[in-house]
Structure 1
Amino acid sequence: MSNTAVSNNQLTVVDRQGAIHDLEWEPDQTMMEALRDNDLPILASCGGTASCATCHVFLEQEVFDTLAERSEDELELLVEAESYRECGSRLSCQVGFSRDLDGATVTLAPED
């Protein structure tokens, strides 16, 4: 039996002032939890239940394209946000940990 531990992903986050933060994303976290737990200004009012848009982020196109489609609930919340982008906008609470996202760059959306 292999004794391979699941390691963390690295994320690069651009905050609302343009400052860059490198952080670790642990396998048991959503992206929102990784952002919040690293003291980035993500309000996450609903606690990750996709019933608000206070964890809105922009993902690079190549990262966005690797994720599952947004649910109707997520898309409904996003399109109401002033900063919504057809390609790139996601609720970070709906983005689960994935090896494919190691090294991804995430930009915090402006607060509406």
Structure 2
Amino acid sequence: MSDTTTITKLNVTDRDGTQRKIDWEPQQSLMEALRDNDFPILASCGGTASCATCHVFLPKEVCDSLGERSEDELELLEEVSCYDAGTSRLACQVSQDESLDGISVTIAPEED
């Protein structure tokens, strides 16, 4: 994926099922875009892939296009109760790219 200066759009579904379109600014991670648009993303670790409080679901084809999860990301995701091998990602590990324009993102349920 290449660096881009183009703002992309995201279709976000919140935990309560509310859907909203937001802008995804260049140089932002997906976690930052969600947090900056007031979605309930705790992001306890600040984007260092050392927690799973920014867990989201992406379409399988989007997850596949992003490549393999790092060992740290996979370990964290496998510990959450709603992990889905095909669609779960940590939003802090997804960088803005114009190829992701218009993707749908669903915020994962909060862990107990």
> In which range does the TM-score fall when normalised by the shorter chain?
over 0.9
**1:62 positional shift:** 1.6
Aligned partner letter, 1:74: E
After TM superposition, list the pairs within 5 Å mapping 1:67-78 onto structure 2.
67-78=66-77
- Kindly report the root-mean-square deviation, in angstroms, between the aligned alpha carbons of the 2 structures: 1.0
1:97 maps to 2:107:
no
1:44 maps to 2:43:
yes
**1:6 positional shift:** 2.1
Aligned to 2:22: 23
Compare CA radii of gyration and give the structure with the larger one. Answer: 1
Aligned length: 108
Task: Give the alignment's TM-score, normalised by structure 1.
Answer: 0.94
Q: Which runs of 5+ in 1 are unaligned?
A: none
Aligned to 1:65: 64
Runs of 4+ in 1 over 2 A off after TM superposition: none
Task: Give the alignment's TM-score, normalised by structure 2.
Answer: 0.94
Aligned partner letter, 2:93: Q
Aligned-residue identity in percent: 61
**1:85 positional shift:** 0.2
